Structure 1
Amino acid sequence: MSYGDDGVPVTERMTGGAVADAAALVARLARAGDALRHDGRLPPHWVTSPHPLLLMVAQNSHIVLVAPAIVWDRGRDLLKPFSERFAQEGAMLVLMGHPRQGDFAQAMNKGLASIVSEDPSPDELHVAVFRALELLEAKVHAESRARSLRRYRYEVAELVDIARAMTTERDVNKLLSVVLEKSRFITGADAGSIYVVEGEEKNRRLRFKLTQNDSVHFDAREFVIPLSNRSIAGSAARSKKPINIADVYELPPGSPYGFDKSFDQKIGYLTKSMLTYPLISQRDEVIGVISLINKKKEPHKLLLSPEDFEEQVIPFDERSEELLGLLAAQAGVSLENTLLYDEIRLLFEGFVKASVEAIESRDPTTSGHSRRVADLTVELAKAVDKDSTGPYADAFFSREDLRELEYASLLHDFGKIGVRERVLVKAKKLFDEQLELIRARFDFVGRSIEADVLRRKVRALERGAKSSELSDLDRELSSRLGELEASFQSIVNANEPTVLAAGDFEKIEQLAHETYTDLRGDVRRLLADDEVISLSVKRGSLTPAEYDEIKSHVTHTFNFLSQIPWGKMFRRVPLIAGAHHERLNGTGYPNRLRAEEIPVQSKMMSIADIYDALTAADRPYKKAIPVDRAIDILEYGVKDGHLDAVLVRVFREARIWELCDPVPASLIFR
């Protein structure tokens, strides 16, 4: 008999101390228990009596308590031992008789399943208990479905996030790392590896790209294995089907593949369960294989001892295979797209490399200029990124922005292919053939002078002239030929692309009016108009017309690059490359843009272009100058309103030239 805290038996206290009433309650409940045990519809062992006023029907994890209504009204302490089961919806209550407390909503919330009569028949009691057990089972199924639905929603959300992560990654190695990491995450795998298929159809191989392991850290290098059925990965690739192995040390008889135990022995690991899945492209071609190792009961646990492997490692279940299949399908498409993107990138870089080589082959003296300008400009952009003050404090150049800037810088002189090569490589004021033609004229004039003096000398001899007269003729010949040679030497001197003294230009102007008579008797000028214009150039080697032709390379650059489908990512390449000769004060070319109209990338490229032109190795028309002098000239460009003061400051303070390879490198894209 149960007693309350006051020492009074619970049964008597509930009936107000009436012993007869208490005995009647106990007897009624005993009859109900006998009815449930002996009617044959319930196994007898399901029915027990934990208290004289309680019957308990237990089916597996479900229990139904049968009690008189007075227990609900005045003896709920009897139900306390089962409160946790009620809270977890693992127990329900059937009352015999109507309770006096009529708050049935509260009672049902506490686990009340039904109410039967005070002295129910076996059928009435059986139906009530059976319905309560059904209701418990339904609740379990509902909770199970709810958990499955929550898990399903979670998995779908994870797969969506994984798909988003895979489709936005353009670096092959990073993509493979994401695929492997996410595959292990959704399946609870401790480790895994990824292989990529390479080679032609008859000589295909699997290249091991990377591995991940939560429990053991080790260095892994890439290697290749034949794509054959002898390896698990190769067999999955050849069959285009997944391979799920519960224990690789106990492979089924007749398996064509084996497992190399030396890897486990080398790193101190134990491979047991393995799930291998092929990565298939949209063209139904296997392009990779993912292999997951050791599914764990508790994914956060590490496998550090033999006991850990024994306790934690389980086979990959059907759901894991389904999830990996969904991820592998997406991963195959993403990997194919990334590989295609990589091919396109290599195609772009090959085009740029070929274009730069084409430009520089036309002007070998500037070899390496494009690469150096690209390096300087990209490093300057990175330095501007780090500068937290001034007008460019908020500037940010992403990886794609830097590649766009690199392409534009490499191709900033692409338009030179539209400039005549003889102008492009012109080292002197006169072209070689022009100087040779002038030399021929001077030689002709010299021969004409010799012929004239000789005729006069013959006539003098014929009339018996004195020897002094003949000597005078010889001196005249020598003098006139000397003056002629001196005049030609003046032309040779004026042909050098240096700053000339005023007297040199006067000499050229004088020679421009000199004439001679050709073999046909026509009077011609010693220097043609175009030769005089060339020799009168005060600085450099180009005439105004030739300089305009050189300047046109920027327009050609923009026009040529605009014909290339750069795509959205690199769409500004033509604009950036085509504005590198614009000046802040509007005096640049080709469009005389002012500061606010010039892209900041072009402003940076202008600084890099000028710096390299000044400091590059000696060229036929100029000498290389020291770095400090080049920086001074850049500062002069700021004062003249040509260059951006902030960008020049960053260039100087960051010593950008020291961040670049001083040796001209072949095109290496990073």
Structure 2
Amino acid sequence: MADFQSVGTSSTASVEGVEGGAASGTSTTATPALVHRMTRLAEQLGRDPRLSREIVTRPHPLLVAVTRDHLTVLAAPARVWDSGRELLQPFAGRMAAGEAMLVLLGYPNDVDLEQAMNRGLASIVAEDASLDELFLAGMRAFELLEAKGSAESRGQSLSRYRFETGELVDIARAMTTERDVNKLLGVILEKSRFVTGADAGSIYVVEQNTRITLTGESEPVSLNPGPVLRFKLSQNDSVNYDSREFAMPLSKRSIAGSAALGKKAINIDDAYDLPPGAPYGFDRRFDEKIGYRTKSMLTMPLISQRDEVIGVIQLINKKKNPKERLLGDKSASESVVSFDARSEELLGMVAAQAGVSLENAMLYDEIRKLFEGFVKASVEAIESRDPTTSGHSRRVADLTVELAKVVDLEGAGPYRDAKFSVEDLRELEYASLLHDFGKIGVREKVLVKAKKLYDERLSLIRSRFDFVARSLEAEILRRKVTLLERGAPRNEIDALDHEFEVRRAELDMNWHAILSANEPTVLAAGDFAKVEQLAKETYEDLRGDPHFLLEAEEAVALSVKRGSLTPKEYEEISSHVVHTYRFLSQIPWGKALRRVPEIAGAHHERLNGTGYPNRLASNDIPIGSKMMSISDIFDALTASDRPYKRAVPAEKAIEILGFGVKDQHLDPELVRIFREARVWERRPNQS
């Protein structure tokens, strides 16, 4: 059987003469009797009151077409099927699409009924069938077409439903996994435009602000505290333009504000022709500025789980063809349609999910800012106890994070597999910021001790020296009086004056030695023999009881070879790491930041196991702690002058870090990377 479905979909054929003729290709098909019969059939059907809804036409002398809406039933003699099937070719496309079917008058000579019915044959009636029989056959054909159309429509609807459901699931997944508020707003707007076919759109968030200044196209406006709509971003497939954030009052004067206050969608067919009595207006100046035409508009509030409006989506220009670009009024009038009920329904679904996701993201952002505020306040609290170290924690954090970024890029060496994600870097930053948090558990006098002796202890020694000096003076005067009473010669009195000057000079020299020994040193150095000698000297009080010029505790302090802390004080300072770990371990850091206490608590561990507090071996020290140790020492060396030391140049600090490597305190590979990358020049904050 010939395949007439391969031909085009034209619904008309040229009508030749009654005899057909060679041009029509129907000379063997169209006999006068057949043509007459089909003409009579067309007249009868045209007069039949039962076909008031249908239109009867003659696309060819041997064909009668009955059309209802977009569906057509053809009636043709069986001879057309046998030898004139080309007459049916103009209807092949519609038959294939389920929009046309064929009723044959008479049984054809050669027909595969199953295949013929699959290709558009509705039924076969007798050649001399009555009008009623033909009517019933035609109605049955229409029913078949409508049933097929309904099935296809349901299939298309089901396919569309499945597609939309899949998209909504993907949208939900995308929105629930994004934590950054600004990125989430972009996702929400992009997905909203996609499911509705919108050319452009904007998104706003509701803010509860203190007194602010509004900025926009007009002059800045001062606004009292209260809710405002902040324009966050816009997207447009047809034109490119720069947009910036601005705030506007939350009122019904704007379409977005009206949707937010009313908590319901606003669907506008034409923004230039708003409904009479609408409280809002539309400013065309933006369109005029960028050469755009805003027509259809759908504005939907984003409502949180607490039934609070937290934002607004505003979609613009639903397009017939989503891929088309809109250029000017003509393009908008031809290509833009109104947002239909389905678009509004889909946007409502997206908005419902977006409201929850945005609320969660905002809450996450608030918690993050709250936590960052806590960290900042903690750092300030720590450093306020020792103003000389102000900024140290921030600088150590910057150095450590920058070093981690460089290590992350290493392609060879022992750290080639070390990788640091954004969350890893944040964890490292918090650990570095809080590495000295435990100092709040250290006595302030020890924490801020600038010299080897506390001021009150140095004053006490000064008082002893003054007492010794006065005692010496009193002794010399007493002896001088004795000499004068017995009339001693002048040279004996002069000898007493000389003795006084020598002993007083020696006392002054000893005092200056104490002052010199009291100064801290960065490296082990100095002659402490004088301190040991003074620690053995004694003096007598007014009662004649002997006392050491330097008490044992003072001698120990003045004999410190590095820094200003005695071993006992150093142990107390070292305990800050234990406090750091204990304090930080009580904070519920969550999965992403769970190692903050461990990293912060190990920054004084040494590779050779001599560090504190746990004397960890190299393999047990977190890499973050190893990097922080380098940053901590480098900043302590290069920071602005402190009471106990002067700042050293970066190159000198690198040299000292090299000593730490030789002593097996610091990781040689990390020090090398730190030095070669000049990490101190990469940090964002170098103040």
TM-score with structure 2 setting the length:
0.88
Deviation at 1:485, TM superposition (A): 2.6
Is residue 651 from structure 1 mapped to residue 679 from structure 2 by the alignment?
no
Q: More displaced, 453-462 or 186-195? A: 453-462
Q: Distance in 1 between matches of 2:369 and 2:464?
A: 55
In the alignment, what sits opposite 1:470? 493
In the alignment, what sits opposite 1:221? 244
Q: Distance in 2 between matches of 1:168 and 1:45?
A: 56
In the alignment, what sits opposite 1:16? none
In the alignment, what sits opposite 1:641? 664
In the alignment, what sits opposite 1:351? 374
In the alignment, what sits opposite 1:509? 532
2:130 aligned to which of 83, 105, 121: 121
RMSD between aligned residues: 2.7
Helix, strand or coil at the partner of 2:204: strand
Is residue 490 from structure 1 mapped to residue 513 from structure 2 by the alignment?
yes
1:340 aligned to which of 359, 363, 371: 363
Q: More displaced, 532-541 or 48-57? A: 48-57
Is residue 198 from structure 1 mapped to residue 221 from structure 2 by the alignment?
no
In the alignment, what sits opposite 1:168? 177
1:9 aligned to which of 22, 27, 32: 27
Deviation at 1:117, TM superposition (A): 3.8
Amino acid at match of 2:147: A
Q: Distance in 2 between matches of 1:228 and 1:400?
A: 40
Q: Distance in 1 between matches of 2:366 and 2:453?
A: 47
Helix, strand or coil at the partner of 1:209: strand
1:386 aligned to which of 409, 433, 436: 409
Q: Distance in 1 between matches of 2:248 and 2:382?
A: 43
Retained in 1: the 8 A contact 2:296–2:316? Answer: yes
Helix, strand or coil at the partner of 2:29: helix
> Structure 1 unaligned runs (5+)?
13-21, 665-670
Deviation at 1:351, TM superposition (A): 0.9
1:527 aligned to which of 530, 538, 550: 550
* Superposition pairs of residues 150-299 of structure 1, within 5 angstroms: 150-199=159-208, 203-299=226-322
Q: Cα distance 1:475–1:7, how it changes in 2: closer, same or farther (>3 A)?
A: closer
Is residue 66 from structure 1 mapped to residue 68 from structure 2 by the alignment?
no
> Structure 2 unaligned runs (5+)?
1-18, 210-223
C-alpha distance after superposition, 1:22-79 (max 9, x if no partner): 7777677667656645554334974445456544333232222334556545554443
Retained in 2: the 8 A contact 1:190–1:294? Answer: yes
Is residue 456 from structure 1 mapped to residue 474 from structure 2 by the alignment?
no
Q: Distance in 2 between matches of 1:453 and 1:279?
A: 95
Helix, strand or coil at the partner of 1:66: strand
* Superposition pairs of residues 319-468 of structure 1, within 5 angstroms: 319-468=342-491
C-alpha distance after superposition, 1:243-276 (max 9, x if no partner): 1111222222222222222222233222222222
Q: Distance in 2 between matches of 1:424 and 1:8?
A: 113
Retained in 2: the 8 A contact 1:38–1:44? Answer: no
Q: Cα distance 1:104–1:8, how it changes in 2: closer, same or farther (>3 A)?
A: closer
In the alignment, what sits opposite 1:667? none
Amino acid at match of 1:604: M
Q: More displaced, 337-346 or 370-379? A: 337-346
Retained in 2: the 8 A contact 1:28–1:119? Answer: no
In the alignment, what sits opposite 1:109? 118
1:625 aligned to which of 618, 642, 648: 648
Q: Distance in 1 between matches of 2:285 and 2:384?
A: 55
Amino acid at match of 1:244: N
Q: More displaced, 169-178 or 313-322? A: 169-178
Retained in 2: the 8 A contact 1:494–1:500? Answer: no
Q: More displaced, 58-67 or 272-281? A: 58-67
Retained in 2: the 8 A contact 1:32–1:120? Answer: no
Q: Distance in 1 between matches of 2:385 and 2:566?
A: 20
Retained in 2: the 8 A contact 1:186–1:320? Answer: yes
Helix, strand or coil at the partner of 2:435: coil
Retained in 1: the 8 A contact 2:299–2:313? Answer: yes
| Number of matched pairs | 654
Q: Cα distance 1:368–1:501, how it changes in 2: closer, same or farther (>3 A)?
A: closer
Q: Distance in 1 between matches of 2:624 and 2:442?
A: 25
Amino acid at match of 2:674: F
C-alpha distance after superposition, 1:460-501 (max 9, x if no partner): 334443333333333333333333332222222222223676
Deviation at 1:198, TM superposition (A): 2.2
Q: Distance in 2 between matches of 1:483 and 1:24?
A: 152
C-alpha distance after superposition, 1:265-306 (max 9, x if no partner): 233222222222222222222222222222222222122132
Q: More displaced, 64-73 or 161-170? A: 64-73
Q: Cα distance 1:607–1:162, how it changes in 2: closer, same or farther (>3 A)?
A: same
Q: Distance in 2 between matches of 1:265 and 1:586?
A: 73
Deviation at 1:164, TM superposition (A): 2.1
Q: Distance in 1 between matches of 2:346 and 2:305?
A: 19
Amino acid at match of 1:186: V
TM-score with structure 1 setting the length:
0.90
Q: More displaced, 67-76 or 78-87? A: 67-76
Is residue 537 from structure 1 mapped to residue 560 from structure 2 by the alignment?
yes
Is residue 557 from structure 1 mapped to residue 580 from structure 2 by the alignment?
yes
Q: Distance in 2 between matches of 1:75 and 1:31?
A: 20
Helix, strand or coil at the partner of 2:528: helix
Helix, strand or coil at the partner of 2:229: strand
C-alpha distance after superposition, 1:144-174 (max 9, x if no partner): 2222222222222222222222222222222
Q: More displaced, 60-69 or 378-387? A: 60-69
Amino acid at match of 1:275: L
In the alignment, what sits opposite 2:221? none
Q: Distance in 2 between matches of 1:536 and 1:383?
A: 42
Retained in 2: the 8 A contact 1:197–1:205? Answer: yes
